[in-house]
A and B are shown apart, each in its own frame.
Chain A
Amino acid sequence: MIYLDYSATTPVLYDVLESYNKASRDYIGNANSLHALGVKSKALLDSATKQISELFNVEEQEIIYTSGATEANNMIIKGIAFAYKNRGNHIIVSKLEHPSVYVICEYLEMCGFKISYVDNDEEGLIDFEDLKRKIKPETILVSICGVNSEMGLRQPLKTIRQIIKKENPNTFFHSDITQGVGKIPINLHDVDLASISGHKIFGPKGIGMIYKAEKITLTPIIHGVSKNTSLNPGTPPLPLIVAFSKALRIALDDLDKKENLIKRLNDKICLEIAKYDTIKINKTRYSIPHILNLSLMSIKPETLIHALDEYEIYIGTNTACSSGELSNAVMAVYGETKRALTTVRISISAITTNDEINKFLKAFKEEYEKLSKTSH
């Protein structure tokens, strides 16, 4: 099997899964219970959270666990909207967001909020001038992803934050950094709020977190009894949290070294794909090497993906969460409908090998040539 869809999800690392299993087996107490088993679980929970806080250089109480990035985006964007609606009803998002962000925005529009979409330049960088123009006194939130999921476009979060705070110091800055964590260095102090997911960093599915600077209030969207914060009530999923903490520690190790390896593989694919006249490589200088987006133009992406299934080679369409639709990012950067409709996404990780890429390129060549004959 050759897996090249790491941006959709990653397999769980063996050690991470072991931690999950051991935590499930040996820490049966509810971390909220008073008895010794509860205390033991609470101690492990606290250690896991402490480790995350140290890895990100933030306070422990600034970490809120969620089921993943979609839940995190919901809790943050709706939570800010409802908590600060007395300040204003305006929210700005980019055109490069994960689809979940747009669905939340549609919902908020029904609730009376106004949503603006900030432009980006032809290389996918946020248009700073447009951002400045769009920030108004009633703007309560700007949400711009740290790394776009379709083309891997990376945004300078620190600069964006400075621009936002200069225009309106009361506007909060949220970034969905799900596709950035474990790939590029991230400083959480460059944002006010962030969404992170566990299953993109070789952790289990069903766990993620919010970073929320301490002074910010979110209106909870889930209500229940809680010992920690009012935002994530219920019994803490200790095995998931432990596994997430461990996955994060491993993911943040040796970022440079991993990126170099991945860049070499990315270059290799690009060099080969450039030989095909019709295929367009959707890559700018802001794309990170972990995510490579191609427009097949003359071939339907689904057809190629199914063809590669036969070789047990797995690549993605624009994002797993919106398969078969137009790629927002490719549309936002290139403005060509056909180009945006025919994208595939190859995502590489540090465990991808040279051999896997060679095999992929060979299979790609065979299938592409075969399919080209039947296309028009």
Chain B
Amino acid sequence: MDKLIIIKYGELSTKKDNINFFIDCLNKNIKLAVNDLKLMTKFDRGRMFIMGEEEQLNKAINALKKVFGIHEMMIGYKINSDQMPDIEQTLVTLLKEQEFNTFKVETKRSNKAYPGTSLAISKHLGGIILKALPNKQVAINHPELLVTIEIRKEGTYFYYESIPGLGGYPVGVQGKGLLMLSGGIDSPVAGYLAIKRGVKLAAVYFESPPHTSVQAKNKVLKLAKILAPYNNDIKVHIINFTKIQEAIYQNIPRDYLITIMRRMMYRISAIINYNMKGHVIINGESIGQVASQTLASMKAINEVVKIPVIRPVACFDKLEIIRLAEQIGTYETSILPYEDCCTIFVPEHPVIKPSITKCLAYEKLIPYEELIYEAVANQEVIKVVAKEEKEVHPLL
């Protein structure tokens, strides 16, 4: 008897014309997620089978829990026989180990030449279980244990254990997007939600040394590391923002510091996004959370780019975002206390209803196009990989 994982696709089944593209993408993602394990994968009739040794399968399940597009994983067992006595014996052996009171057997025969109807086989096997295991009852409507038996030409499959997948779309099916990753609580959550809908992310981080520290940058890379398994690795573009930020600080009226700074960040993000052939910018803005995130501010800031800016957590309360961050596992890292670009040079009273006319006028005071060009040209790109590098430090 061999153990195996059967992967069921979720929302994908609603896609009609594109389904093959979606499934190909998911299969590729699944293979990437488990490519360090010794496994055999097989695609068949809208499902995927993964076979291997128990320990490897357990590792695979953990890896697949981070793959979007998987609706459900079933733990199954296979025997290389379709003979009724073998099926009966295996079924009893498997169910002996399970704790349940009520059950139901469902049979599928892809081999329609197999004698008997599916219903008749189910009834027969249900009877076998009742006879072999004491105190069990059949429940047609809400069984505690639903045992599915699939009789095929090459053998028989049994499955009854289900592990929920993440759902969503396979990452990449929607093309690419650029996440503005700050190191706070909101932006990693925003990134996660975008990946969930199939957006393959890259990230941009603005650093301002010496006003911001290496620790702050490492924190952002750590956050990227947590997102990486969902995204099949993630590229982080690091922009040195010091000159721009200092120019803003020296020339722009205090109440517009943040507005203009965000406009610069948007402009830079749009360029990176264009260069990587992305479609959208994604960020962690939440309506009204801070002065630069009021609707008026969003309008004044958003005005500098022509591509869509998606704000997945725009309508979430802070506590809702925190809850998600805890689920994803980014919260503990996000709350490490390091200064980032948005927390230095903060004016006491930032404008909450900025005017676009004023923004344009103030921006004439600094040679921002040159500075932006320089910042983008000097960007550092770090590829944060999903898989743990197993290299031992030479001193360790």
Selecting from A172-180, A242-250, A312-320, A328-336, the interface stretch reads: A242-250
Contact B214 A36 (CB under 8 A): yes
User: A51, B395: Cβ atoms under 8 Å?
Assistant: no
CA distance in complex: A350, B86 (Å): 50
Contact indicator A39/B214 (Cβ below 8 Å): yes
Asked if B214 contacts A245 (CB within 8 A), the reply is no
| 7 tightest A-B CB contacts, nearest first | A19-B395, A47-B393, A39-B214, A246-B396, A242-B395, A51-B396, A245-B396
A368 to B215, CA, bound (A): 64
Q: Does B213 contact A (CB under 8 A)?
A: yes
Secondary structure at the A interface, as helix, strand, loop or mixed, is helix
Which residues of the partner chain B approach A242 to less than 8 Å between Cβ atoms? 395-396
Asked if A23 CB lies within 8 Å of chain B CBs, one says yes
Query: Any chain A CB within 8 A of the CB of B392?
Result: yes
Interface of B is mostly: loop
> In the complex the two chains form, what is the Cα distance from A242 to B392 in whole Å?
12
Q: Is the CB of A39 within 8 A of B215?
A: yes
A23→B213 contact, CB < 8 A = no
Contact partners of A48 in chain B: CB under 8 A: 393, 396
Are A246 and B214 interface neighbours, CB within 8 A? no
Q: Which B positions have Cβ atoms within 8 angstroms of A?
A: 213-215, 218, 392-393, 395-396
Chain A, residues 226-252, CB within 8 Å of chain B (1/0): the string is 000000000000000010011001000
B240 to chain A, nearest CB (A): 16
Interface residues of A in 24-63 (CB under 8 A from B): 34, 36, 39, 44, 47-48, 51
List A contacts of B218 (CB < 8 A).
Answer: 39
Q: A229 to nearest B CB, angstroms?
A: 15
Measuring CB to CB, which residues of chain A are less than 8 angstroms from any residue of chain B? 19, 22-23, 34, 36, 39, 44, 47-48, 51, 242, 245-246, 249
| B213→A51 contact, CB < 8 A | no
List residues of chain B with CB within 8 A of the CB of A19. 395-396
Q: Give the CA-CA distance A22 to B218 in the complex, in Å.
A: 24
Given contacts A51-B396, A242-B396, A249-B396, 18 further A-B contacts (CB under 8 A): A19-B396, A23-B395, A34-B213, A34-B215, A36-B214, A39-B214, A39-B215, A39-B218, A44-B393, A44-B395, A47-B396, A48-B393, A48-B396, A51-B392, A242-B395, A245-B396, A246-B396, A249-B392
B140: min CB distance to chain A, Å = 41
Note all chain B residues with C-beta closer than 8 A to A249.
392, 396
**In the complex, chain B residues whose CB is within 8 Å of the CB of A34:** 213, 215
Q: A239 to chain B: closest CB distance in Å?
A: 9
Residues from chain A with Cβ under 8 Å of B392 in the complex: 51, 249
Q: Can you name 12 A-B pairs with beta carbons within 8 Å?
A: A22-B395, A23-B395, A39-B215, A44-B393, A48-B393, A51-B392, A51-B393, A51-B396, A242-B395, A246-B395, A246-B396, A249-B396
Complex Cα distance, B214 from A155, in Å, reads 47
* Whole-angstrom CA separation of A201 from B247 in the bound complex: 58
Cα–Cα, bound, A48→B396 (Å): 7
Candidate in B213, B392, B393, B395 with the most chain A CB atoms within 10 angstroms: B395
State in angstroms the CA–CA spacing of A271 and B213 once bound together: 65
What are the residues of chain B within 8 A of A39 when measuring CB–CB?
214-215, 218
Q: How far is the CA of A245 from the CA of B394 in the complex (A)?
A: 12
B214 to chain A: which residues have CB within 8 Å?
36, 39
- CA of A278 to CA of B213, assembled, Å: 71
Give the CA-CA distance A242 to B218 in the complex, in Å. 21
The complex places the Cα of A242 from the Cα of B394 at a distance, in Å, of 10
On chain A, the residues within 8 Å of B213 by CB distance are: 34
Residue in chain B with minimal CB distance to A23: B395
> A36: which B residues are within 8 A, CB to CB?
214
In the bound complex, how far is the Cα of B393 from the Cα of A22, in angstroms?
Answer: 12
Inter-chain CA distance A47–B392, complex, in Å, is: 9
> Closest residue of chain A to B215, judged by CB?
A39
Most chain A CB within a 10 A radius of its CB, from B213, B215, B396:
B396
Kindly report which residue of chain A lies nearest to residue B214, judged by CB atoms. A39
Residue of B nearest to A39 (CB): B214
Cα A8 to Cα B176 in complex, Å, equals: 61
Q: With a CB–CB cut-off of 8 A, which chain A residues contact B396?
A: 19, 47-48, 51, 242, 245-246, 249
A246 to B394, CA, bound (A): 10
Cα–Cα distance between A47 and B396 once the two chains are bound (Å): 8
B211 CB to closest chain A CB (Å) equals 13
> In the complex the two chains form, what is the Cα distance from A23 to B393 in whole Å?
12
CB distance from A219 to the nearest CB of B (A): 25
A59 to B396 alpha-carbon distance, docked (Å): 18
Q: In the docked arrangement, what's the CA distance between A36 and B395, Å?
A: 19
Give the residues in chain A near B393, CB-CB below 8 Å: 44, 47-48, 51
- A280 → chain B, closest Cβ, in Å? 44
Q: Which residues of B have CB within 8 Å of A51?
A: 392-393, 396
Q: How far is the CA of A34 from the CA of B214 in the complex (A)?
A: 9
B contact residues around A246 at 8 Å (CB): 395-396
Per the bound structure, the CA–CA distance linking A23 and B213 in Å amounts to: 24
How far is A22 from B395 in the complex, measured between Cα atoms in Å?
8
A51 to B389, CA, bound (A): 12
Determine how close the nearest CB of chain A comes to the CB of B139; give it in whole angstroms: 35
Closest to A34 in B: B213
Measured in the bound complex, the distance between the Cα atoms of B396 and A44 in whole Å is 9
Contacts of B215 in A (CB 8 A): 34, 39
Tell me the bound Cα distance from A246 to B392 in angstroms: 10
In the assembly, what is the distance between CA of A19 and CA of B395, in Å? 5
Q: Report Cα–Cα, A249/B214, bound state, in Å.
A: 30
| Residues of chain B lying within 8 A (CB to CB) of residue A245 | 396
In whole Å, how far is A204's beta carbon from the nearest beta carbon of chain B?
Answer: 13
Q: Nearest-CB distance from A29 to chain B (Å)?
A: 12
Q: In whole Å, how far is A256's beta carbon from the nearest beta carbon of chain B?
A: 18
CA distance A109 to B273 in the complex (A): 69
| Distance from B4 Cβ to chain A, minimum over Cβ atoms (Å) | 27
CA of A19 to CA of B394 in the docked complex: distance in angstroms?
8
How distant is B186 from chain A, measured CB to nearest CB, in Å? Answer: 25
Name the distance in Å between A79's Cβ and chain B's nearest Cβ.
25
Q: How far is the CB of B59 from chain A (nearest CB, A)?
A: 14
Q: Note all chain B residues with C-beta closer than 8 A to A22.
A: 395
Complex Cα spacing A47 to B214, Å = 17
